[in-house]
């Protein structure tokens, strides 16, 4: 009972921990992290042995150059949104929101990164790559017949976003975490998606997020090597579940809605990968702690009845609509002063679509 009460409080704390309340809450998180990560824990072997020399951005750029693509070149007429379950249709709005937040968060990222040559340069490439995700998900929503009203897109873009931190390294750690979550959730979503086109697109985006994660992971690993206590900051951004949803969802209920939607795709496979990354970064998996931490965020699996993070069912979509607090949030407008402009999503989508070249033509040129 007490445990349950604590969990409900912790969930609401999650929805508030990146806004103004963070000045009160951060010291609490920091105290917990200091307890969990005493200095006696050695760095992981992997982190100690990693080659982190040279300019990490140039390495990233070398990989990115080979993988550049434009999502509008994909043939969206092959999309079959009618195959999706009600939950998957809802989930499309959750992932679209995350990718729409790029415009709101970008100035804060660049501001904190501007004096760090690797992070500042990475920002430019990252922003372009993320645009594929934004465009891809909104093109798909158009195929679903659920294009966002222009004011909803504007709501997200207008958010005066409070950066997770002014410290570029803490911000890099937070971004690292959110890229990892993006990778894990998109991979899970991709495996369950009933439309093969969406499955493929989500998998492509998952790969992009993994690449972003790896870049930040190297930056953070280098910082940890120089300053092992920085591991506590890394753990703090994980415990805070730092992502833009906290600020761009339009209210606490919606933040929790997205947390539950994303958690559905965080199963044992994703949890094991997560623990592996935690061990690499922190020198310990903290498995007992995280087993407890992830308990009860969303209802258990309807097939195996286990906690989601313990479920290893290959298929776990039960076809039921998710229990959501406000399934129509994306049609609503949450900010005030909304007559000052608009972001015409449907016209924008049409224009981008008309720029796409069929794949055959693209490969013929290459």
Of 105 and 221, the one with the shorter C-beta distance to Fe ion is: 105
Phi, psi of 285, rounded to the nearest 5 degrees? -80, -25
Of 96 and 298, the one with the shorter C-beta distance to Fe ion is: 96
Closest approach of Fe ion to the CB of residue 3, in Å: 34
Please enumerate in sequence order all residues whose Cβ is within 8 A of that of 21, keeping only pairs 6 or more positions apart, or say none. Answer: none
34 neighbors 282 (Cβ within 8 angstroms):
no
Of 212 and 267, the one with the shorter C-beta distance to Fe ion is: 212
Of 97 and 282, the one with the shorter C-beta distance to Fe ion is: 97
Closest approach of Fe ion to the CB of residue 238, in Å: 17
Question: What is the distance between the alpha carbons of residues 215 and 57, in angstroms, rounded to a whole number?
Answer: 8
Closest approach of Fe ion to the CB of residue 178, in Å: 8
Closest approach of Fe ion to the CB of residue 23, in Å: 28
Closest approach of Fe ion to the CB of residue 212, in Å: 4
333: its two tokens: 């407008």
277 neighbors 180 (Cβ within 8 angstroms):
yes
Closest approach of Fe ion to the CB of residue 208, in Å: 6
Of 155 and 179, the one with the shorter C-beta distance to Fe ion is: 179
Please report, as ranges, the residues that interact with Fe ion according to CB under 5 A: 130, 133, 179, 209, 212
Please enumerate in sequence order all residues whose Cβ is within 8 A of that of 143, keeping only pairs 6 or more positions apart, or say none. Answer: 76, 79, 81
Of 133 and 236, the one with the shorter C-beta distance to Fe ion is: 133
Question: What is the distance between the alpha carbons of residues 48 and 231, in angstroms, rounded to a whole number?
Answer: 14
Of 192 and 243, the one with the shorter C-beta distance to Fe ion is: 243
Closest approach of Fe ion to the CB of residue 101, in Å: 10
Question: What is the distance between the alpha carbons of residues 240 and 255, in angstroms, rounded to a whole number?
Answer: 13
Nearest-Å Rg of the Cα atoms of the chain is 20
153 neighbors 343 (Cβ within 8 angstroms):
yes
Dihedral (CA of 151, 154, 156, 158) sign:
negative
Question: What is the distance between the alpha carbons of residues 94 and 223, in angstroms, rounded to a whole number?
Answer: 32
């Amino acid at each position: 009972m007490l445990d349950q009460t604590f969990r409900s409080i912790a969930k609401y704390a999650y929805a508030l921990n990146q806004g103004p309340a963070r000045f009160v809450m951060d010291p609490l998180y920091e105290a917990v992290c200091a307890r969990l990560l005493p200095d006696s824990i050695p760095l992981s072997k992997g982190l100690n042995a990693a080659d982190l020399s040279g300019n990490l951005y140039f390495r990233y750029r070398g990989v990115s150059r080979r993988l550049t693509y434009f999502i509008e070149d994909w043939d969206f007429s092959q999309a079959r949104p009618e195959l999706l379950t009600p939950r998957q249709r809802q989930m499309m709005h959750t992932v679209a929101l995350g990718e729409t937040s790029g415009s709101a968060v970008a100035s804060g990222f660049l501001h904190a990164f501007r004096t760090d040559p690797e992070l500042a340069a990475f920002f430019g490439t990252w922003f372009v790559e993320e645009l594929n995700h934004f465009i891809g998900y909104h093109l798909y929503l158009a195929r679903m017949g659920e294009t966002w009203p222009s004011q909803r897109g504007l709501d997200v873009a207008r958010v005066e976003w409070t950066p997770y931190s002014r410290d570029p390294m803490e911000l890099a750690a937070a971004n690292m975490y959110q890229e990892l979550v993006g990778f894990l959730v998109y991979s899970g979503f991709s495996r369950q998606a009933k439309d093969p086109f969406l499955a493929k697109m989500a998998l492509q985006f998952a790969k992009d997020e993994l690449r972003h994660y790896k870049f930040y992971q190297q930056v953070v690993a280098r910082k940890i090597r120089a300053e092992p206590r920085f591991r506590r900051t890394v753990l703090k951004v994980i415990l805070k579940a730092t992502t833009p949803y906290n600020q761009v969802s339009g209210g606490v209920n919606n933040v929790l809605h997205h947390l539950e939607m994303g958690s559905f795709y965080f199963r044992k496979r994703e949890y094991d990968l997560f623990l592996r990354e935690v061990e690499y970064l922190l020198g310990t998996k903290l498995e007992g702690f995280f087993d407890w931490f992830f308990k009860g965020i969303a209802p258990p699996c309807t097939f195996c009845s286990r906690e989601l993070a313990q479920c290893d069912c290959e298929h776990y979509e039960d076809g039921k609509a998710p229990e959501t607090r406000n399934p129509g949030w994306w049609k609503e407008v949450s900010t005030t002063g909304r007559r000052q402009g608009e972001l015409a999503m449907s016209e924008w989508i049409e224009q981008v679509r008309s720029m796409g070249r069929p794949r055959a033509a693209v490969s013929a040129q290459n």
